[in-house]
Chains A and B, each alone.
Chain A
Amino acid sequence: MTELTSLTIAEAREKLKAKEFTSVELTKAYLDAIDAANGVLNAYIALTPEKALEMAKASDARRAAGKIGALEGIPLGIKDLFATRDVHTQACSHILDGFQPKYESTVSQNLWDDGAVMLGKLNMDEFAMGSSNETSHYGAVINPWRAKGSNQQLVPGGSSGGSAAAVAAHLCAGATATDTGGSIRQPAAFTGTVGIKPTYGRCSRWGIVAFASSLDQAGPIARDVRDAAIMLKSMASVDLKDTTSVDLPVPDYEASLGQSLKGMKIGIPKEYRVDGMPEEIEALWSQGIAWLKDAGAEIVDITLPHTKYALPAYYIVAPAEASSNLARYDGVRYGLRVDGKDIIDMYEKTRAAGFGQEVKRRIMIGTYVLSAGYYDAYYLRAQKVRTLIKRDFEQVFEAGVDAILTPATPSSAFGVADENLASDPVKMYLNDIFTVTVNMAGLPGIAVPAGLDHKGLPLGLQLIGRPFEEETLFRTAHVIEQAAGKYTPAKWW
């Protein structure tokens, strides 16, 4: 018998339906797998086994009564950024010590309403600020992938590193994640999983710990394109509690899989051919182009001239918004408090002790660029550049391009505690060079595994779509997946 944890969501859905096993059995299999792996991989930072079994039992009872949701009985992991009622919710920060909200995020509630089961909370970079999951207060996550013939520990990417590692190592059937500059797509690419950041406004941000409100979007990380489509369908909704939630019906994304690419126009932006990009990534990209051409798509060269300015503009906009959003952590209403001689001293000591280095860096940058005399030179200029970045995409879409194909990341997964990266924060930021434009323009983007590099590590391709045309991305990514195959790490943990 195949291990229950090796089944995709779509497979488990069929077998649960056929009564081959129960949700309780499936949930127990995942809890056992987590037990055996988490000491090594550190993907989960809080487990909720009792709640999981209770939810699984309730799901089995609903099924017996004929009430079957879209994710009925499917065990999922939830990124620590999502508020989960009475359960650890800390954005993996020390400053939120002990925080257990009295409310549930809209996205996670949508999943529970569709019958899903929660296994626990997943590790992430502190406040989603990072590209390696090493800024977490709970320590690094170890990528289940290792280079051929090597024992070196690799990062799973970030900030949704716990989500990506747990999905890749089969420690959950699928996971929620969030993406502000690449935090779904980069870890998905590093772990051979599929991750989609939907259009800004597609998933409610209510109950998700805010990092940069104009950029943050929730999305799934899953084992394949079909599972990502199933999960996004449940996660997305129109939510009155989020004023930026868009009032558009959620399509059946799964139905777009298997549709032909004939007549579709795929753009290849020359600006994504960056200096120093490994040849393997260049080759992977060409392979992706060939696959889509074979499937009947028309390939056109396009230009997105402001691409190189997206990352610097992001490092003004995101820290500025973060400095405002994170002002709420002051030791008064929740989390850590460090006493001081007066209230200001208490604020300053609490925030000094509670935030990690990367978070402090970004708050400082944000505070500086918003401070009197600098606002126009930095923030206002960055927002103007953002308009230009979005305009680049609009012009390409107006010219008839349906989707844009790019590499997902400039490299495969790198080592834990990489000295070269630790010495210069900007080097770490460059990980998001291909993904960040999508957040700046509010577009949907999907990362899909497309091959392995010479070290045997997964590499991904990214597809960028028109606003609210996630279906095009699923359809196209599915073609790449069919051609490239799926990638699972050999179990060593």
Chain B
Amino acid sequence: MSVDLATVKRVARLARIAVSEEDANRMVGELNGILGFVEQLSEVDVTGVAPMTSVTPMEMRKRTDNVTDGDKAADIVANAPATDHNFFLVPKVVE
């Protein structure tokens, strides 16, 4: 399988990365290079093989549903580019 310019632009949109016409054109070649490389997986017989979900046989550790942390609003917003009263500020999304 390979990608064309329209697919690259669609994927960039899904990935929320702005690409110029020039970037998109370059990426077509680069992505097709990588996709060509991974293409060899199609020669492996995977009939009846279960997909890996965990590298070590482990059961996900669970804990009781209690509050164990909190009261850190100022810490949480400390690195944000724009905040107001411990809220993250973003451009208007609702008219």
Contacts and interface: CB of A to CB of B under 8 A. Distances in A.
B67 interface: no
A201 B80 CA distance: 31
B3 to A, nearest CB: 7
Interface residues of B, number: 53
B70 interface: no
Interface in B41-95: 41-42, 44, 46, 49-56, 58, 60-61, 63, 72, 75-82, 88, 90-93
Contact of A364 (B8, B60, B75, B82): B8
Interface in A284-322: 306, 308-309, 311-313, 315-316
A404 to B, nearest CB: 17
Contact of B51 (A306, A332, A335, A387): A387
A297 to B, nearest CB: 26
Interface stretch (A74-82, A96-104, A143-151, A188-196): A96-104
The secondary structure that dominates the B interface is loop
Interface string A421-461: 00011100100000000001110000000000000000000
B5 interface: no
Interface stretch (A120-128, A173-181, A226-234, A337-345): A337-345
A367 B14 contact: yes
Interface in B19-49: 19, 27, 30-31, 33-35, 37-42, 44, 46, 49
Contacts of A337: 81-82
A240 B61 contact: yes
Contacts of A382: 38, 41
A442 B49 CA distance: 18
A364 B27 contact: yes
Nearest to A200: B55
A371 interface: yes
A352 B55 contact: no
Interface stretch (A134-142, A258-266, A373-381, A475-483): A373-381
A335 B19 CA distance: 20
Nearest to B36: A426
Interface stretch (A1-9, A274-282, A355-363): A355-363
Contact of A340 (B27, B34, B76, B91): B91
B11 interface: yes
B15 A323 contact: yes
Contacts of A348: 13, 16-18
A59 interface: no
A312 B37 contact: yes
A349 to B, nearest CB: 5
Contact of A344 (B16, B50, B51, B82): B16
A272 interface: no
B82 A309 contact: no
Nearest to A330: B16
A353 to B, nearest CB: 8
B56 A467 contact: yes
Contacts of A170: none
Interface in A410-427: 424-426
A307 B11 CA distance: 30
B23 to A, nearest CB: 8
Interface in A369-404: 371, 374, 377-378, 380-388, 390
A284 to B, nearest CB: 27
A244 interface: yes
B79 A346 contact: no
A199 interface: yes
A152 interface: no
A101 B17 contact: no
A366 B40 CA distance: 17
A331 B10 CA distance: 21
B38 A312 contact: yes
A425 B78 contact: no
A98 B37 contact: no
19 contacts: A99-B79, A201-B58, A214-B55, A240-B61, A306-B44, A309-B41, A312-B41, A331-B81, A332-B88, A332-B90, A335-B81, A348-B16, A361-B34, A363-B15, A364-B11, A384-B50, A384-B52, A387-B52, A442-B55
Given A99-B79, A102-B76, 10 more contacts: A201-B58, A214-B55, A244-B58, A246-B58, A332-B90, A333-B88, A337-B82, A364-B12, A387-B51, A426-B37
Interface of B: 1, 3, 7-8, 11-19, 27, 30-31, 33-35, 37-42, 44, 46, 49-56, 58, 60-61, 63, 72, 75-82, 88, 90-93
Listed from nearest, the 4 A-B pairs whose CB atoms lie closest are A442-B55, A383-B51, A337-B81, A334-B79
Interface of A: 98-103, 199-201, 214, 240, 243-247, 306, 308-309, 311-313, 315-316, 323, 327, 330-337, 339-340, 342-349, 351-352, 355, 360-361, 363-365, 367-368, 371, 374, 377-378, 380-388, 390, 424-426, 429, 440-442, 467
